[in-house]
Amino acid sequence: MKDLIEALTIFLKYTDIEYPTHCEHGVLTVCVDPALVTAADKDRLEELGFDAGEDGSDQECGFYSFRFGCC
């Protein structure tokens, strides 16, 4: 739970939209544009279980996690 809260705290620096998450088929998605996120934050998010959906990724909305996506 601590890792998820830390990741969401990082995402909060980059968005304030009302509904920033989506969970489907075992994937938690957070709608934050990876282009806005610093390299250091991307590295930390990766350590916490979130990958950026960039450059042709199947992920439509920012960052995704299979670690926290079990629904």
Summarised one tens digit per residue, pLDDT across range 43-70 is 999 999 999 986 555 555 799 999 987 6
State the Cα–Cα distance between residues 53 and 45, nearest whole angstrom: 12
Cα torsion 51, 63, 26, 4: sign: positive
> Is 25's pLDDT higher than 90?
no
State the Cα–Cα distance between residues 59 and 32, nearest whole angstrom: 12
Residues in the chain: 71
State the Cα–Cα distance between residues 20 and 31, nearest whole angstrom: 5
User: Quick check: 22 and 61 in contact, CB under 8 A?
Assistant: yes
> Is 9's pLDDT higher than 80?
yes
State the Cα–Cα distance between residues 40 and 28, nearest whole angstrom: 21
